[in-house]
Amino acid sequence: MKRQAKPAAILRKAIPGKSFERRYLGLLGQAADREFMASSFELVDGSYRLKAGLDDKALKRLNGLAKAIKLNRGAVKTGPLILAILLGTVLLAFGLFFMNPVLERGLERGLEAAFGARAEVSALHLDLVRLRISIGSIAVADRDDPMTNLFQTGRIELGLNLASLLRGRIFIEEATAASIEAGTPRSSSGALPDSSARPKATMATGSAAPPLVDFENFDAKALLQREKARLGSAAAFAEAQKSYDEATTRWKDRYESSGKALASLDATSKKILVLDPRSIRTPSEALAAAADAKALIGNARDVVKETGTIVRGIGADAETATSLEKRARVAVDEDLAYLKSLVDPKSGTAAKALEPSIREILSDRAERWLVYGNRALEVGLKLKSTSGGGETGRKAASIRGRDVIFPSAALPRFRLGLLSSSFAMDGSEYAFELRDVSTEPDLVASPASLRLDIAKNGAKAGFEAVADLRALSAEAYSAKATAEGYPLDLGDSLSAVGIGGFSGIADGRLELRGEKDGSVAATGGLTVHEPSARGASGTLGKALAEAVASVDAVELHARYETLASGDDRFTIDTNLDAIVAKALRAVAEKYAKKAGDELAAAMRDWIGTELEGKLASKTALADLLAGARSDDQAAVSLDGRLGAKVAAFEARAKELGTGALKGIGSGLSLPKVKP
């Protein structure tokens, strides 16, 4: 007889209603199981009791569900609890004596791997109860300048996310820093043994600025001497000289050899050419003379061919050299126009002279921030490339029985939600926020962003940057900066244009965009209110100072672009040139024409005494060409005369032969034949 199934112990007792809902039905994952369990019980006096009369199949199914309920309750057991307490005690002791130094060194190594320079972390403390980390300070050296810190922080407080930590991920929800400084000096080198500084990318500077002219003390020869390196005339004349010299050298020996061959042929041919055909008495003598002349014609044809080749070759080279000489004389005109532009303020020379000084100022200010931006992008890409893909590549869990695994959202290995700092330094108030930095940017909804606000004595500046390293984004980073009411003092940066000092109140803007291929584009503008130019010297410096004093603001717009290939472009647009041209109009009318005439005279003297003399081989090449043409004509003439002699000798032979036949015929009598 088959044994009847018995219900499990937890099913035989009366179960309060709330307990039945929470501790029985609530622990079953499948809706069908919950419905079956509910249908197998009935509510009696506020408690649930197992229905009577259930068959063996239903009881077996209920017993299986009872086992699942017990497993899902996770009841605390004494053995595991004691083990957990012991493990917690060991971890606490490890944390107190060993964990903090280990974490401190681990953080230093991570920063050194990311930035390629030495990092120092001090006073790191992990609070496992509150899940917070405090750090006394962090300093990371600049890989390309080991005696300077890339950045240095004051005390930092970090709050960790428990859910991410339990899944083996680090999510810093919020961090605060007492202070953040960049470019601070170090007492020891921050270079790592296996990491060398990268060569600094040099920005293309283009041609150097033209010197500005002091009209009151103008010296045309001195200006010409100073500008010779920029003029193209000398190089153009040198190229023409080289062409003349090479052509003369190339054809001289061949011309002389051809002349000798022609002279030898001429000497050999004289005997034949002076022979009078009428002096020949026999046909055989005439034919022999014709044969000798024909032999000389072959040699004459070879000489004619050689002289013709030489004439054509010298002529082609002379034409090339002449065209280079013409180009050199065009360069003289262009150089003279350039020199005259230096004494004509309306030509735009003022702006060209100011551009290198302004570029140097902007480069000095902006280069450091471009370095920081590129370094941040470099670190972000390095973190992303070494992240290993987070949980995105995890194999999907298989489902067996009633233990259903509900997949959760993938998390990055490391994520910094917010790092903020607000502090005062050197009389300025700073507010700093860094958000959503991650080793797996594709697992974070927002790109990494940075915001910095600075205020001092009524002046304020703001900087916002976004770095998007997600796979679907083509743009690597973008930034926008504004400044308002900042005192500007350029010191002696404009001394090259005759201004000892320049100051004012500046408003500025900058927009920066970088692509993942390494190209960068930046546009910006600067407006200087209440401009003041001090310590002016020279004609232009004084005029510029007066012009600056007459306007309300000096405006400047600049654009910088660097391509992935490494080439870069820098352009400046400013109202300074118009200001200077207006101020120098009277000066130009008084001095410019006289200075231009003096420059033209100095230029003619230089060309005549130094450059024209370099074309001495021009005459030699012309003489060579004339001689080659003369030889060619002589060779052609000799060939023609020899040909005429051959014809004359052959005619004499024919004449003598005919006469001989007639003489023979007159001395013979033929016999008569009878019919």
Task: For 210-277, give the DSSP string.
Answer: PPPP-GGG--HHHHHHHHGGG-SHHHHHHHHHHHHHHHHHHHHHHHHHHHHHHHHHHHHHHHHHH--G
pLDDT in tens, 533-562: 888 877 667 777 777 777 778 787 777 776
Residue 207 confidence (pLDDT): 45
| Residue 353 pLDDT > 70 | no
Which pair of tokens denotes residue 611?
A: 């450059």
| Residue 76 pLDDT > 60 | no
Q: State which amino acid sits at residue 465.
A: A
CA distance 412 to 437: 10
C-beta separation of 98 from 113 below 8 A: no
C-beta separation of 336 from 530 below 8 A: no
pLDDT in tens, 419-477: 777 777 777 787 878 887 777 777 777 787 878 888 877 788 887 878 777 766 666 66
CA distance 307 to 491: 73
CA distance 490 to 507: 15
Q: Where are the domains of the chain?
A: 9-74, 79-181, 218-344+615-666
C-beta separation of 560 from 325 below 8 A: no
CA distance 53 to 395: 46
pLDDT in tens, 203-253: 444 444 445 556 666 777 887 888 888 888 888 888 888 888 888 888 888
Concatenating the DSSP letter of every residue in 487-506 gives: EEEEETTTGGGT-SEEEEEE
Residue in the block written with tokens 């998390």: 411
pTM: 0.46
C-beta separation of 343 from 596 below 8 A: yes
Residue 377 confidence (pLDDT): 58
Concatenating the DSSP letter of every residue in 88-146 gives: HHHHHHHIIIIIHHHHHHHHHHHHHHHHSS-EEEES-EEETTTTEEEESEEEEEETTEE
Return the DSSP state at 609.
I
Strands 414-425 and 170-177, by their bridges, are: parallel
Residue 672 confidence (pLDDT): 54
| Residue 362 pLDDT > 60 | no
| Most confident by average pLDDT, 84-98, 142-156, 384-398, 590-604 | 142-156
The number of residues in the chain equals 675
Residue 203 confidence (pLDDT): 46
Q: Mean pLDDT throughout 28-41?
A: 86
CA distance 595 to 540: 15
Q: Give the pLDDT band of residue 663 (cuts 50, 70, 90).
A: low
Q: How far apart are the first and last CA of the chain?
A: 173
In 3D, which of 347, 338, 348 has the Cα closest to residue 574? 348
CA 371 and chain centroid, separation: 14
Q: Which helix (DSSP H) or strand (DSSP E) does residue 150 occupy?
A: strand 145-153
CA distance 329 to 607: 9
Instruction: Give me the sheet containing 41-44, strands edge to edge.
Output: 15-16, 47-50, 41-44
C-beta separation of 124 from 375 below 8 A: no
CA distance 480 to 373: 12
Longest distance between any two alpha carbons in the chain, whole Å: 185
| Residue 20 pLDDT > 70 | yes
Going by C-beta distance under 8 Å and a sequence separation of 6 or more, which residues neighbour residue 652? 277, 278, 280, 286
Strands 170-177 and 156-160, by their bridges, are: antiparallel
The SS3 of residue 38 is helix
